[in-house]
Amino acid sequence: MDQPLDGPLRAPLSRRAWLRLLGTGAVSLYLRRAYGAPAVAPGDARASPIDRSLGETAPRAFSGDQPERPHRALWDKRAYLAARGGLPPVEKSVPLVVVGGGIAGLTTAYLLRRHGPVVLEQGARFGGNARGESWRGLDYAIGAAYFTAPEEGSPLRRLYGELGVDKIWRKAPGGHPVALEGRLVGDFWQGRSAPADRAQFRALARYFHRLYQEEGGLVYPEIPAYSRARRRHIDALDRISFRRHVESVAGGPLHPHLVTAFEHYCWSSFGASFSEVSAAAGLNFFAAEFGDILVTPGGNAAIAERLYARLDAALPPGHLQAGALVVDVRVAGDGVEVSYEDAAGALHRLRTRAAVLACPKFVAARLVDDLEPERLEAIRRLSYRAYLVANVLLTRKLPDSLYDLYLLGGGATDDKDIKAAAERQKATDVVFGTYAHPDARSSILTLYRPLPYDGARPALLADDAYDRYRAEFEAQLQETVLPLLDVRPEDVADLRLARWGHPLPVAATGLIADGTVDRLRRPLRDRVFFVQQDNWALPAIETATAEALHWAPRIARLLA
């Protein structure tokens, strides 16, 4: 049996399967109480992760990140606090404060709900980038869209059962269709786009399938890795790039169509090049594409909404605060003091026995002044990348035989200049956003445009950013996407854009193997806990939820 790396879990919880805990592990205590309870409607729809207030036509402005307020306060915290007269006095004491209301923060708060956590989310709505919108009764994602099927009996499967997610999910269709040179290609991995080289396509497809199923002695790279044996396996893969590993499996250089497919997949999933991403992270994601992919109406926002609804019903008034910008976190004696600006602009200070920072590490570094030098160095090693989302609202039904379609352009990518290649390609994949909730009259296409290079965020904040990117989305729709799907321009009722400036921590080579992730995720003085997907530099809902399940029992012991 694998020996545990740390904490109470006795088996790895992964993007692939979320293996069963051996015996009756501590996590099961957190999932047993509400099992089978009915769904609960959110009490305050204004802060719910899905915005159903937009009507027929949305304002011509970005949804998603609204960074002006946190930038103003956190980029020069000392000046901000000085202008506000310093930190306010402590108002009251609470057992637990969770900073960040995305999937990681909501899941941690849900697991620890009996301790009455206060959850502070700086955005106007909870959910992080697992947020959505609605049109004509159809919910759609403006960020994260899908997840992998959890194993029966696993903690995640039971959590989804409690939340009722298993009642609304739908399995995406199999196969891997792509758009290449203006035409649809069925199952790409059968080599139909390059018959002379189909053996290479099929050999790689067999490898990914066998790896995912752990056949023939292959070991799927579980991330997070919670056992020593799994961690050694992950470390070995983490030292090389995904591209190098795939080329070694293929036995040589890849066909240009394969290079393009892997590049566009990594741009979209990781915000990084095929050559930047570690083999551990790349295999963890890509092999899972050969398993079951699950979709819900509204994408991952449906999960965030159910977490929010349960917390809204379980916690006292005022314990779920949207528009609450945390500006300072400090360990003080046997507790933690958390200062924040509420939605009305008033400063508050809470004393708590423990704090959970479910926010990106670069934000944590600005909130906590006395982080250890080795943690700060680990945080500096992380990069974060941006992406844009365009939801195309259509006044016609689309066939439900497709879910995700990758756009491979002409089938060749300049992987020596990723920025230029990404600017030429623009959107890399099209998701059928209403696949889990088909409608006879309307449907929604969701286009993802990654910006897989450093320095992209300032362009998203430029005065002309919305007009520029909207025009580029419109051009790509008219020239490529609509003709490909036999959709007329007059079928488009609206185009809605979301921007995300830093949601994707880059899963670069070496971050796991050299111990960077260990320095990122260990608690500060056993009072401040870090629970976020960037603990492992892996941008996945499974990573965020795995870390919540991992750390919740330790936090509960502290609060007992």
Segment 429-477, tens digit of pLDDT = 999 999 998 888 999 999 999 999 999 999 999 999 999 999 999 999 9
Interatomic CA distance for residues 430 and 145, integer angstroms: 11
pLDDT at residue number 39: 45
Distance, CA of 277 to CA of 271 (rounded, Å): 9
Higher pLDDT, 227 or 544: 544
Average pLDDT score over residue span 294-314: 96
pLDDT-derived band at 415 (thresholds 50, 70, 90) equals confident
What's the pLDDT at 314?
Answer: 96
* Alpha carbon distance 83, 86 (integer Å): 7
- What is the pLDDT, as a whole number, of residue 216? 95
Q: In which residue are the tokens 């070694």 written?
A: 248
> What pLDDT does residue 7 have?
36
- For residue 184, the model assigns a pLDDT of 93
| C-alpha closest to that of 163 among 116, 124, 113, 121 | 113
Give the pLDDT of residue 292. 93
**Predicted confidence (pLDDT) at residue 290 exceeds the cutoff of 60:** yes
User: pLDDT tens, 251-282?
Assistant: 999 999 999 999 999 999 999 999 999 999 99
Mean pLDDT across 157-180: 93
Mean pLDDT of the 216-233 span: 92
Average pLDDT over residues 105-113: 98
Residues 395-411 pLDDT 10s: 999 988 889 999 999 99
Is the separation of the CB atoms in 218 and 300 below 8 Å? no
In the predicted model, what is the mean pLDDT of the chain? 91
Checking if the pLDDT of 38 tops 60, the result is no
Q: Print the SS3 string covering 196-248.
A: HHHHHHHHHHHHHHHHHHCCCCCCCCCCCCCEHHHHHHHHHHHCCEHHHHHHH
Please give the pLDDT value at position 36.
Answer: 37
The three-state (H, E, C) secondary structure of 30-77, written as one string = HHHCCCCCCCCCCCCHHHCCEECCCCCCCCCCCEECCCHHHHHHHCCH
Mean pLDDT across the stretch 299-303? 97
Per-residue pLDDT tens over the stretch 7-28:
333 333 444 444 333 233 445 4
Q: What is the pLDDT of residue 18?
A: 41
The pTM for the full model equals 0.93
The single-letter code of the amino acid at 410 is: G
Contacts of 44 (CB under 8 A, 6+ apart): 312, 320
**pLDDT bucket at 226, cuts 50 / 70 / 90:** confident
| Six token digits for residue 502 | 């830093």
Distance CA 261, CA 286 (A): 11
Average pLDDT in the 347-370 region?
97
Tell me which amino acid residue 446 is.
T
pLDDT, position 27: 53
Rounded mean pLDDT of 127-142?
Answer: 96
- Specify the pLDDT at position 85: 95
pLDDT at position 40 over 50 = no
% of the chain with per-residue pLDDT over 70: 92
- Tell me if 64 sits within 8 A of 51, measured CB to CB: no
- Alpha-carbon distances, residue 272 vs 177, 235, 420, 438 (angstroms): 22, 20, 13, 32
Candidate from 39-43, 49-53, 314-318, 369-373 with smallest mean pLDDT: 39-43
